[in-house]
Copies of this chain bind each other. A is one copy, B any other.
Amino acid sequence: MKKNTFIALLFIASSSISAQKSDEQMLKEVYNSALTNSKSYAWLDHLSNKIGSRLSGSAGAEKAVVYTKAEMEKLGFDRVYLQEVMVPKWVRGEKETAYILDNKTKITVPICALGGSIATPKKGITAEVIEVNSLKELAELGKDKIQGKIVFFNRAMDAAQIEAFHAYSGAGDQRYAGAAEASKFGAVGTIVRSLNLRLDDFPHTGAQGYGDIPESQYIPAAAISTNGAELLSKTLKSNPKLKFYFKQSCVQMDDVLSYNVIGEIKGSESPENIMVVGGHLDSWDLADGSHDDGAGVVQSMEVVNIFNNLGYKPKNTLRVVLWMNEENGLRGGKKYEEISLLNKENHILAFESDSGGFTPRGFSIEGDAANFDKIVSYKKLFEPYLIHSFVVGHAGSDIGPLTSKKIIKMGLKPDSQRYFDHHHAGNDTFDAVNKRELELGAGTMASMIYLVDKYGIVN
């Protein structure tokens, strides 16, 4: 080997070792900051306990816009601003009531209207019930069996799935499309088993849509707690002629003006390349939305707090975006993309946290193979933090609409086992979030964003 070649190789080897060492050191400092010097838990405490639920168009949502904008302004962004977006406003109205009428016995069960549902008539709906386990079974039964009845969708989430999100995907069509499909066969209402792997008494709301059926054919749709579903199913077996009563007062109002909240740090080297990190500011109305998605909101803000603590200035532009209306319209995500197109922006990374504030396990990644491989090449760096799962998969709803010449989208992948115990239900509250788990998630996000900022993406 020639001396020059040797020296060159030595240089490459040593600079690569030093780069490696420095990443390890940087990640250590990032996690250290996340675990010992974080604002995220206090922010979440405020969002959850001082503001509370934040359904699009609600007073809570507007307070959350004002609060997070003010908090972001303290973080030293180059610019913090609101992005106008018209959002749907759906209001639950008075608490729903429901009971099973088993001959003369009246058994109260916990239900809640699904988001976007119409109300029942003021006196409620009373009808016989037909239990089905799928949209396919519904269609097979047809009009004869369904006309005039309440359809009870009772397919449980598949407990055999290891990832709870897979169990959710496998059962979600009943909630989202059940009412529209049942209406086609003359049903007068639908009751869906809550999307919850646990047996308990919380009904879980969530978006449903009437698709393209005419408005005159809309029927009320509600969710019943898993214990309620078990009881209804069991009672139906002994008395198929039982009746079910439910009443809900929800109403879809006109769209109202709301906002995405955006904070921007201009990149020191390549300001034209934008990295966005965020969660959604809106939540369902039954609780505080602490996991869904208060956690993602405060973790995204915490990424900047961590960079501030470490004196790290990103080379690319970094935007924290708190989207409005993920739950029932995705208007915020769509608006962000619309404005980005107008401004001919170039996003290289979109990172969303919207899977709960539980212990982070890895990343769910959308991107081409070269960029996926590049992300996976950082895996070793994450081992000390027990981050091990780098998979191709859904990155996030709000970043779904975003397009760019070349972009990596990533979602934080926390442990999923407890998520659906709380998702869209009355117990998605602050006490269900563990401070360290939340902070580890923020550290994981900041670490990955640091690496993408430093090493870029494959164009």
Contact call B389/A389, Cβ cutoff below 8 A: no
The chain B residue sitting closest to A437, CB to CB, is B417
Is A440 close to B, CB under 8 A? yes
Stretch of A29-37, A174-182, A312-320, A321-329 lying at the B interface: A29-37
Among B31, B160, B162, B197, the residue within 8 A (CB) of A162 is B31
Report B-chain residues with C-beta under 8 Å of the C-beta of A415: 359, 415
Interface string of A144-162 (1 = CB under 8 A from B): 0000000000000001101
Q: Knowing A359-B415, A417-B359 touch, does A160 contact B437 (C-beta < 8 A)?
A: no
Q: How many copies does the complex hold?
A: 2
Contact call B386/A361, Cβ cutoff below 8 A: yes
Is A388 close to B, CB under 8 A? yes
* A415-429 CB contacts (< 8 Å) to partner B: 415, 417-418, 421
Q: How far is the CB of A161 from chain B (nearest CB, A)?
A: 8
Contact call B434/A418, Cβ cutoff below 8 A: yes
Is A143 close to B, CB under 8 A? no
Contact call A417/B440, Cβ cutoff below 8 A: yes
Q: How far is the CB of A375 from chain B (nearest CB, A)?
A: 17
The chain B residue sitting closest to A385, CB to CB, is B162
Report B-chain residues with C-beta under 8 Å of the C-beta of A418: 434, 437
Is A69 close to B, CB under 8 A? no
Q: How far is the CA of A421 from the CA of B386 in the complex (A)?
A: 20
Among B31, B32, B197, B436, the residue within 8 A (CB) of A197 is B436
Q: Knowing A386-B361, A386-B389, A417-B440 touch, does A160 contact B35 (C-beta < 8 A)?
A: yes
Is A374 close to B, CB under 8 A? no
Contact call B421/A159, Cβ cutoff below 8 A: no
Q: How far is the CA of A385 from the CA of B162 in the complex (A)?
A: 6
Contact call B436/A159, Cβ cutoff below 8 A: yes
Q: How far is the CB of A158 from chain B (nearest CB, A)?
A: 9
Q: How far is the CB of A308 from chain B (nearest CB, A)?
A: 18
Q: How far is the CB of A436 from chain B (nearest CB, A)?
A: 5
Q: How far is the CA of A64 from the CA of B418 in the complex (A)?
A: 28
Is A198 close to B, CB under 8 A? yes
Report B-chain residues with C-beta under 8 Å of the C-beta of A311: none
Q: How far is the CA of A384 from the CA of B361 in the complex (A)?
A: 13
Residue from the set A36, A163, A417, A435 with the largest chain B CB neighbour count within 10 Å:
A417
Report B-chain residues with C-beta under 8 Å of the C-beta of A389: 386, 388
Among B162, B163, B388, B436, the residue within 8 A (CB) of A417 is B436
Q: How far is the CB of A385 from chain B (nearest CB, A)?
A: 6
Report B-chain residues with C-beta under 8 Å of the C-beta of A35: 159-160
Interface string of A197-235 (1 = CB under 8 A from B): 110000000000000000000000000000000000000
Report B-chain residues with C-beta under 8 Å of the C-beta of A159: 35-36, 436
Q: How far is the CA of A417 from the CA of B385 in the complex (A)?
A: 12
Report B-chain residues with C-beta under 8 Å of the C-beta of A421: 434
Report B-chain residues with C-beta under 8 Å of the C-beta of A359: 359, 415, 417
Residue from the set A159, A418, A435, A437 with the largest chain B CB neighbour count within 10 Å:
A159
The chain B residue sitting closest to A420, CB to CB, is B436
Q: How far is the CA of A405 from the CA of B436 in the complex (A)?
A: 42
Report B-chain residues with C-beta under 8 Å of the C-beta of A162: 31, 384-386, 440
Report B-chain residues with C-beta under 8 Å of the C-beta of A437: 417-418
* A382-425 CB contacts (< 8 Å) to partner B: 384-386, 388-389, 415, 417-418, 421
* A171-201 CB contacts (< 8 Å) to partner B: 197-198
Report 27 cross-chain contacts, Cβ distance below 8 Å, ordered by A residue: A31-B160, A31-B162, A32-B160, A35-B159, A36-B159, A36-B160, A159-B436, A162-B384, A162-B386, A162-B440, A164-B436, A198-B434, A198-B436, A359-B359, A359-B415, A359-B417, A361-B386, A388-B388, A388-B389, A415-B415, A417-B434, A417-B436, A417-B437, A417-B440, A418-B434, A418-B437, A421-B434
Nearest first, the 4 A-B pairs at minimum CB distance are A388-B388, A417-B436, A35-B159, A32-B160
Knowing that A31-B160, A162-B440 are A-B contacts, what are 8 other residue pairs whose CB atoms are under 8 Å apart, sorted by A's residue number?
A31-B162, A35-B160, A197-B436, A359-B415, A386-B388, A417-B434, A417-B437, A418-B434
